[in-house]
């Protein structure tokens, strides 16, 4: 989670959300920061960018079996779906996202019993630190607008 926080703190004007994919041996394969505005891409969430980069360097081309995805915020429906499709074995996330969270807040996409792949989930890891990063970002934005 420290590595995901580090990715979130990286350069960029987008909402600071960071994600890292670790290989089965615990070695980081790819890290990314949310870049929706920067890339002009509604799907450029940190998780998606990290999954794409990890799949380029690991696995059979797209499966990330045995890998762990760490992200600073509870994934949305798109990212939850993507990590299931990527066969991520373990999901670790920081802050809860009551407005869009799809790993128990609004839905629980990754543990739906109808899916044939369900990752192990650990939520709320360093939650305060992860949430603090977002709160500071939005407080600064509000101050700039007023």
CA dihedral (124, 130, 132, 137) in degrees, to 10, reads -140
Nearer CB in complex with Zn ion: 34/68: 34
Dist CA 82 CA 112 (whole Å): 14
Give how far Cα 9 sits from Cα of 18, 20, 109, 127, Å: 8, 13, 27, 15
Q: 15, 17, 71, 79: which one contacts Zn ion (CB under 5 A)? A: 79
Least distance CB 98 / Zn ion (angstroms)? 15
- Residue 129 is among the residues annotated as catalytic for this protein: no
User: Is 35 near Zn ion (CB under 5 A)?
Assistant: no
Binding site members for Zn(2+):
45, 76, 79
* Cα 16-85-65 angle, rounded to 5 deg: 90
Binding residues for Zn ion, rule CB under 5 A, total 4
* Per-residue binder mask for Zn ion (CB under 5 A), 59-78, x = binder: -----------------x-x
Q: Are 33 and 45 contacting, i.e. CB atoms less than 8 angstroms apart?
A: no
In the complex, which residue's CB is closest to Zn ion?
79
CA 60 to chain centre: 22
Catalytic residue among 38, 47, 65, 74: 47
Binding site members:
45, 76, 79
Interface with Zn ion by CB under 5 A: which residues? 45, 76, 78-79
Active site residues: 47
């Amino acid at each position: 989670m420290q590595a995901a926080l580090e990715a979130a703190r990286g350069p960029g004007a987008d909402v600071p959300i960071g994600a890292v994919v670790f290989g089965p041996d615990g070695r980081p394969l790819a890290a990314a920061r949310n870049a929706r505005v920067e890339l002009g891409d509604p799907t450029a969430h940190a998780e998606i960018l990290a999954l794409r980069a990890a799949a380029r360097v690991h696995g059979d081309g797209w499966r990330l079996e045995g890998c762990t995805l760490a992200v600073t915020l509870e994934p949305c429906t798109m990212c939850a779906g993507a990590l299931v499709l990527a066969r991520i074995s373990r999901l670790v996330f920081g802050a809860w996202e009551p407005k869009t969270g799809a790993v128990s807040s609004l839905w629980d996409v990754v543990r739906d019993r109808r899916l044939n792949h369900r990752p192990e989930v650990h939520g709320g890891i360093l939650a305060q630190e992860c949430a603090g990063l977002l709160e500071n970002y939005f407080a600064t934005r509000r101050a700039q607008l007023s």
